[in-house]
Structure 1
Amino acid sequence: MIVPPPPEPGGPLGKALRRREDRRLLMGQGRFLDDIPAPPGCLHAVFVRSPHPHARIGPIDTAAARAVPGVAAVLTGRDLGAIVAPLRMAPPIAGLLPMDMPVLPTDIARFVGDPVALVLAASRSAAEDAAELVQVAWDPLPAIASIAQAKQAAALVDPAVPGNRVSRQGFATPGLDAAFARADRVVEARFAQQRQTHVPLEPRGVLAIWDAGREHLTLRVGTQAPHPYRSAVASRLRLKEFQVTVESPEMGGGFGQKIIPLREDLCIAAASRLLNRPVRWRETRAENLMTAMMAREETIVTRAAVATDGRLLGLTCAMEVDFGAWSFFPANYMARVVAMILPGPYRLRDYGYDVQVWLTNKCPSGPMRAPMAVTSWVMEGTMDAVARELGLDPLAVRRINSIGDADLPFTTATGERYDALTPRATLDAAAAAIGYDALRAGQAQPRDRLLGIGLCTVVESTTYGSAFYRAAGIPGSGHEVATMRVEPSGAVIASCGLMGSGQGYETSLAQAAAAGLGAALDDLVIQIGHSDIAPYGMGSRGSRGAAAGGGALYMAGQRLKAKVLAIAAAMLDLNSAAGLDLRDGVVLRLVEGAWVETGLSLAQVARTAHLDPLRLPPGMEPGLHAVLAYDPPAMTYANSTHACAVEIDPATGALRVLRHVVAEDCGTRINPLIVAGQTHGATAMGLSGAMMEHAAYAEDGQAVAGSFMDYAIARADDLPAFELSHHDTPSPSTPAGIKGMAEGGTMGGIGALMNAVNDALARAGVHLDSGPATPARIWAALQAAKDTA
């Protein structure tokens, strides 16, 4: 266990500094992928995609396309498959069936937008024109457009997956049956999230440059995880990792869509190698909406065994997930995490789950900001269901079940350990801030609109250390590596394996590194996003950036600081470094209880270390550099409570969010300004998804949300001004007490909004058990209730 010292007064941790990167971005001087000039001889790529949800691929006639002026090549799956190995997803997990995926399908297309050919031309317009001339002999097959259809097995999405069920896992504590046997009531609740997609401001894209002389591939691509991305590309193209360089420029959002190389990326890399020319591809918005990756489509039914006072005695969860057509990630990955952490902030000893994952003829699924997002709505919606069933107040039911300070450390029914967690404190703070009692009183007054109050307490998993992956039966590592060196001038260069997509890493990671070393923040720079410069790390995903990346940099700084002080002691003719410290780049000495300057600076120590090594302590190597690998705890948890007040016009179904309050505990906040920004953004994403986003498919498997005319996202005037408060308790098991918090806003936003909508609709005898809560769906539900009455 790491017991962190308190941050020094006036140090960089906890300062609300403006983001370093904002100056260039606000002045239009950022360097995104489209800002990189096309190299001489560069080809532009356009994909030919399936118009069918399920079809055999017959002969592909490319003659007319190849005749278009400027076209250099038209490549199919057979051409590209010669140098790109297929992806086999077969981790040794009980209940998970293996799946194989070629770089491009050659026999059967499995969803609308499945890429089957690649056109390469001297200009984008020529490639687009030629792509329209590629003739594919399609033989349509029956499509599986829902889990219900998948269960009937009228057709198989993947011939290697009998019955279309690709994964099933279950778990139950020994006392679960007994808990239900002694319950006064069993309350059942159903929840369903609609299919959504990531909608980054900047769609995907890649520029590939093959150097035949050096046999080296350079990829300029926005990726959240440069090193795992590079490893995957090298493996699939049968290259060694030193033959691949990944450079990630500015990235306009990722949200999980830009972690791994998807098929288009591999095709572009292979095409550059085959043709020995640079190749670039820029995804269109329609491609991004329909073919990049999707998430969230799942149905969960809970059964809660409760006492008459609302105490939760036992809980079961039956979860079914629509995974789509191909496997980019283990099919059980997101669903298993949801099931494991579902009990959230409550004292629940007996629990069981059954998780089933199904294949359909839809765009494949992958992680999306808060891949476990449904967790909080399910648990908090279950608490509301218990309150309704028993005639109790929802806040009172939460309070009687909430984990309190006296319960810590607490081990959940699935074996997860909570230490510094404050769900009761954030619940009370959020309820007080939104004026819970006054709102309840207001509901009893005559009104022409329905008023609803939603509460959602979030327990957000953050660090995802290696031990978590092993316990979950998921292959992978959660460690992070940091490097730090001090140049002779005192300039500090630090790096780790993360890559930012809007999180402000260049600022917050610099604050963590400077705090560990004791350097002046203006003398330190963070270098990330380049696989040849940064050390190998696991990248940016989940909420691990602050705790894993920031933690590694903080500890690397501490390691280097010890050497700096040892050199300083020698320079000051002291026997040891005891009583010395480095703060803001200045060496201090403790004299009679007070810190006084010694006249030495980090720059002077660095100059000695590099340029006058004979003055160093005996046996010490010259220079100032550190490399540190840090594997964080299996899991660290942050928590928050969202409180949302909404009103609904029963005549139209129109929904308005009146207020949205967030009380959160994310441990040590490296930069409060960035934390607030992350909370605002994540909450907005959650509300947007709950209110309006839907990557819809027709019953025949056709995708029907191919533009922003069909896929709605929240605008600024759809959202309230978020009200934040903090109740931070540092983690006792991470460097500097950092927990992380980038996804909790999404989880809480979804749960609080849906609970508020259902609280309002309950006044009319209506309940929405699935999203999105659009005016049309709300109005239809109200009308159906009227007709029934």
Structure 2
Amino acid sequence: MTNSTTGTAMGSAPQEEKFIGQNVPRKEDRRFVRGKGCYTDDIVIPGMLHAAFVRSPYGHARIKSIDATAALALPGVVAVITGRELAEFTTPFVCRQEGAPPMEMDALPVDKARFAGDPVACVVAVDRYVAEDGVDLVEVDWEVLPPVLDMYHADDAGMPLVDDKLPSNMHTRESRSYGDIEAAFAAADRVVKADFRTQRLTHVPIETRSVVAVWDDGREELTYYGAAQTAHILRTTLASRLSLSENKVRVISPDVGGGFGLKLPLFREEFTVSAMAMRLKRPIKWVEDRLENLTASNHARDDAVSVEVAVKNDGTILGVRADLWADFGAYAFYPPSYIIHVVGWLLLGAYKIDNYEYTINVALTNKCPAGTLRAPMAIVTWATDGMMHRVAEELGLDPYEVRRKNMITLDDQPYQSAPGYLYEALTLREGFDQTLAEFDIQAFRDAQKRASREGRLIGLGIASVVEPTTYGSAWYKASGDDGSGHEAATVKLEPTGTINVMAGIVGTGQGYETSVAQVVAEALGSDPANVDVRLGDTHIAPYGMGSRGSRGAAAGHGVAYLAAMDLREKVLKIAAHLLQRPVESLRIVKGIIIATDNPGVSLPLAEVARIAYNDPTSLPEGMLPGLEIHRTYDPPFMTFSNATHLCQVEVDPGTGGVEISKYRVLEDAGTLINPMIVDGQVHGGVALGIGQVLLEEIHYDEQGTNITSTLADYLVPTMDTVPMIEVEHVETKNPNTPNGIKGMAEGPVQGAVACVALAIQDALAVTGARLEQLPMTPSRVLEALRESRGCANA
């Protein structure tokens, strides 16, 4: 017998549906595949003007004068503005870093251009074509200066200053030491050295940077449409620099065609367009073209790690010294030491090493500014596991046994790393052992020897990834940086029973509209299809820290779940009052509130919602009307996830080409909200890492000109480069986050960079060739092989 209202068998305990952990299809994809998405360039405002920028052709040059007379005479050109004029009604951006001089950046340069592509004037016209024609008519009188292009020699005597307001081109040089590093090296049987160098990259999102700025002169309010990963932080910055009240600035981030860290800061072009919209009282659009994207958007990476490892003859690691370098380019959108410090404190990776010292060196050069690119610390796993392999090589030991010997296990946890970070619920040694158990290493080594006799080079790489995912506010405080790690969400159960969610994170392709709906639906006993998720509008969403790093799951989804659980508590209190049942006896199953001790007693969730809004006198005494919860959540100091990557490659000794024949990932991101979405993050991250190892590189010539400014010169991975990727999951819950979620997104990049590079190095090892520089292009592979043959013949 069933109850007609609930469809539940009489006398049986109702079971709440579980949506966390389910492969729910992405809700947002329907509009994308139908061409119904809305990106910034889709936004058209009546009376809208268009902007284009005059850019420096030189890597380093003083601006003697700018003459816009001819441009202003061109029909359709409305205005031309320079940095000197913008400085009259805007304030500069000041980037501060503890223990180092602040770096100041005007809206547009006033005195000199610091890199080729530096925007020095803005032309506003009736359409983009006229604006571009106007750019060609602006005459700039330049005094060309010698560029600074080598981070290792940026501070040599006689080098010009990149930033004239700073005393040196070496912005940061500092050391940190843990344990007794001198004693560790004194006790060592051997000191092993290794070097790792990564190239300068850029993001190459399908959707480039873009903005539409609209000034409402009646309300004296600015609306900013743009692909922003951190909408609220951008709003605060805009308001401050334009001298507006924050409640007079609205940031709307529509659909975003890829972020990858590029769309975090407020760039000078976007700020200039906003300032000009206010000045001209007209809407203005700017959309970056691909040439601008490759030359003048933030770059990333361009760093190096040199290590000295104190070891015993049995492979025990006693201590590590590291020298870390970063080329930060010409300006600072972030504290210059931030990214390389992450490399520093993460460098010990999966290994138990108590004695550690690292020194960071951050140089300013006449290159496009550097910033965050998905996994800004991408070099770190390659350097960590690479140094372990170098130790094994010099000691004549099996590299995987050396790694196992020094690895952190679950039994060691909670484990505090030498720099003071707490590792909990990480399956580092366990994942490594599982990967080795599922792959026959001995069979591969036998095949490798046979291949070598045939003139073929095959190699294996295994990487153990430690990924920092969610930075709590305490981390920012301890690091000396301004910032918060908190996140916020508002969950509303509307009068008809539908659910609306607003959160501070911003979707840039991760599937948040689906996965946030899953966690909220599970908490409220509804269906994800009944949950609408709105992100990226500062007039709707509560103030949050946006989407950066891998914080979306633990912070963004965590706070949405907590808000929904708070709302659930209120719903059940109302239902208990109406049904005259104890709260603890009630469950919400498929939108119906059911008494577990008598499933025949039930009440639709929608009826509770109706009463909460439209019949508040029926609520429990003292309870306020409505069903809306706002919640904030500050994650722990730091949350980590981990993974093990395995890659098998073949290197063609005749062409230097590399083919990836096998790629496997064992991922432990804690509780998975949507495994299908996690798989997508793994695939995308691995592809990005493969691109870094094999293809992508920004090149500057001796004059400081970017000579990789088209997609014919700057190569990105395509389907012929990226192999099929096998993904397996382990779900070891974090004890300190909602639902045990750890998060992930950047780790797959770290893992791919490491295991593909290690696999290539393993393939070349039989020849004696050594590669320590990314990308490992065919020309670099062939050069390494030629050098090894030359050494053999010497």
TM-score greater than 0.5 by the shorter chain: yes
Equivalence for 2:65: 59
2:566 to 540, 543, 559: 559
Q: Is 1:718 matched up with 2:725?
A: no
What amino acid maps onto 2:697 in structure 1? Answer: H
Kept in 2: contact 1:336–1:472 (CA 8 A): no
- Measured against aligned partners, the alpha-carbon deviations of 1:235-261 in whole angstroms (never above 9, x if no partner) come to 111111111111111110010010121
Corresponding residue for 2:480? 473
User: 1:421, 1:249 → 2: CA distance?
Assistant: 36
Residue identity opposite 2:104 in structure 1: D
Which of residues 117, 127, 148 is equivalent to 1:113? 117
CA drift of 1:376 comes to 0.8
What is the CA-CA distance between 1:148 and the residue it aligns to?
2.7
Indicate conservation of the 8 Å contact 1:433/1:661, yes or no.
no
Contact 1:99 1:327 (C-alpha < 8 Å) held by counterparts: yes
Secondary structure of 1:629 counterpart: strand
Question: 2:156 is matched with which residue: 148, 152, 155?
Answer: 152
2:83 corresponds to: 77
- After superposition, where does 1:213-362 map in structure 2 within 5 Å? 213-362=218-367
Q: How many residues align?
A: 775
Distance in 2 separating the partners of 1:473 and 1:396: 39
| Map of 1:131 onto structure 2 | 135
Segment drifting more, 560-569 vs 577-586: 577-586
Q: C-alpha distance in 1, partners of 2:161/2:479?
A: 28
Q: CA deviation at 1:293?
A: 0.1
**Distance in 1 of aligned mates of 2:63 and 2:177:** 45
1:16 aligns with one of 23, 29, 42: 23
1:674 matched to 2:677? The reply is: yes
The counterpart of 2:32, out of the listed 17, 25, 35, is 25
User: How far apart are residue 435 of structure 1 and its match?
Assistant: 3.3
Distance in structure 2 (CA, Å) of the matches to 1:113 and 1:438: 52
Q: Paired residue for 2:497, among 480, 490, 501? A: 490
Inter-CA distance 513–776: structure 2 relative to 1 (3 Å threshold): same
1:374 alignment partner in structure 2: 379
1:48 correspondence with 2:51: no
- Please, which runs of 5 or more residues in structure 2 have no aligned partner? 1-14
Q: Which one of the candidate residues 679, 682, 693 is aligned to 2:696?
A: 693
Post-superposition offset of 1:785: 1.8
Deviations 1:588-624 (A, max 9, x none): 3222xxx836321211111111111111111111111
Which amino acid is the alignment partner of residue 701 of structure 2?
A
Q: Is the 8 A contact 1:431 1:643 kept in 2?
A: no
Distance 1:241 1:200 in 2: 30
| Equivalent residues of 1:586, 1:597 under 8 A apart | no
> What SS does structure 2 have at the residue aligned with 1:132?
helix
**Residue equivalent to 1:520:** 527
Letter in 2 for 1:474: D
Matched, 1:582 2:585: no
What displacement does 1:9 show? 6.6
Secondary structure, aligned partner of 1:687 = helix
Alignment of 1:601-612 (within 5 A): 601-612=604-615
Structure 2 distance, partners of 1:123, 1:437, is: 65
2:212 matches 1:207: yes
- 1:642 equivalent to 2:645? Answer yes
SS in 2 for 1:714: coil
Could you list the per-position Cα deviations for residues 646-684 of structure 1 after superposition, in whole angstroms to 9, with x for gaps in the alignment?
111111101111111111100000000000000000110
Does 2:467 correspond to 1:460? yes
1:401 paired to 2:409: no
Runs (4+) of structure 1 exceeding 4 A deviation are none
State the alpha-carbon separation in 2 of the partners of residues 178 and 709 from structure 1: 53
Give the distance between the partners of 1:401 and 1:421, measured in 2 at CA: 15
For 2:740 and 2:138, the matched residues in 1 are separated by 57
2: CA distance between counterparts of 1:263 and 1:459? 35
Question: Is the 1:62–1:133 Cα contact (8 Å) retained in structure 2?
Answer: yes
Q: Which residue is equivalent to 2:739? A: 736
Q: Secondary structure at the match of 1:90?
A: strand
Pairwise CA distance, 1:515: 2.1
Is this contact kept in 2: 1:517–1:558, CA < 8 A?
Answer: yes
Given that 2:354 and 2:417 are in contact with CA atoms closer than 8 Å, whether structure 1 keeps it comes out as yes
Deviation of the 1:447 alpha carbon: 2.9
Do the aligned residues in 1 keep the contact of 2:16 with 2:589 (CA within 8 Å)? no
SS of the residue corresponding to residue 702 of structure 2 reads coil
Distance in structure 2 (CA, Å) of the matches to 1:161 and 1:769? 33
Query: Within 2, Cα distance between the matches of 1:9 and 1:587?
Result: 10
Deviation, structure 1 residue 212: 1.2
Please give the alpha-carbon distance, in whole angstroms, between the structure 1 residues aligned to 2:384 and 2:179.
21
Taking only aligned residues, the RMSD between alpha carbons, in angstroms, comes to 1.2
Secondary structure of the structure 1 residue equivalent to 2:459 = strand
Would you say the 8 A contact 1:434–1:659 is kept in 2?
Answer: no
**Maintained 8 Å contact 2:656/2:781:** yes
2:541 to 534, 546, 559: 534
Q: Which amino acid aligns with 1:279?
A: I
Cα 1:259–1:597, aligned 2, differ >3 Å: closer, same or farther? farther
Q: 1:708 aligns with which of 707, 711, 714?
A: 711
| 2: CA distance, partners of 1:172 / 1:597 | 66
CA contact (8 A) 1:488 1:610 kept: yes
Residue identity matched to 2:147? A
**For residues 590 and 443 of structure 2, what CA distance do their matches in structure 1 show?**
49
User: How many angstroms does 1:788 deviate by?
Assistant: 2.8
The one-letter amino acid of 1:587's match is I
2:129 maps to amino acid: S
TM-score between the two structures when normalised by the length of structure 2: 0.96
* Structure 1 partner of 2:513: 506
Q: Distance in 1 between matches of 2:589 and 2:406?
A: 45
| Paired residue secondary structure (1:151) | coil
- Alpha-carbon distance in 2 for matches of 1:761, 1:112: 37
Q: Is the 8 A contact 1:425 1:727 kept in 2?
A: no
Which amino acid counterpart does residue 56 of structure 1 have in structure 2? R
Return the letter of the residue paired with 2:121: A
Identity of aligned residues (%): 46
Please give the alpha-carbon distance, in whole angstroms, between the structure 2 residues aligned to 1:699 and 1:192. Answer: 20
Inter-partner Cα distance in structure 1 for 2:206 and 2:670: 30
Query: Partners in 1 of 2:443 and 2:562 — Cα distance?
Result: 48
Distance in structure 2 (CA, Å) of the matches to 1:357 and 1:251: 32
CA contact 2:587–2:594 (8 Å) conserved in 1 = yes
Question: Secondary structure of the equivalent of 1:448?
Answer: coil
> Could you report, residue by residue, the CA deviation over 1:85-127 in whole angstroms, capped at 9, with x for unpaired residues?
1011124x12x22111111001010000000000111011111
CA contact 2:176–2:357 (8 Å) conserved in 1: yes
Give the one of 426, 431, 455 matched to 2:436: 431
Q: What amino acid maps onto 2:714 in structure 1?
A: Y
After TM superposition, give the deviation of residue 436 of structure 1 in Å: 2.7
Aligned residue in 1 for 2:193: 188
Q: Is the 8 A contact 1:245 1:531 kept in 2?
A: yes
Separation in 1, partners of 2:311, 2:530? 58
Q: Which amino acid aligns with 2:656?
A: G
In structure 1, distance between residues paired with 2:279 and 2:39? 26
Residue in structure 2 matching 1:618, options 621, 624, 627: 621
Q: Output the CA distance in 2 between the equivalents of 1:164 and 1:542.
A: 28
Q: Measure the CA separation in 2 of the matches of 1:583 and 1:260.
A: 43
Partner of 1:97: 101
- Cα shift at 1:394: 1.6
Moved more, 492-501 or 691-700: 691-700
Q: How big is each residue's C-alpha offset from its partner over 1:279-302, in whole Å with a ceiling of 9 and x where there is no partner?
A: 000100010111010110011101
SS in 2 for 1:463: strand
User: In the alignment, is the contact (CA less than 8 A) between 1:688 and 1:714 conserved in 2?
Assistant: yes
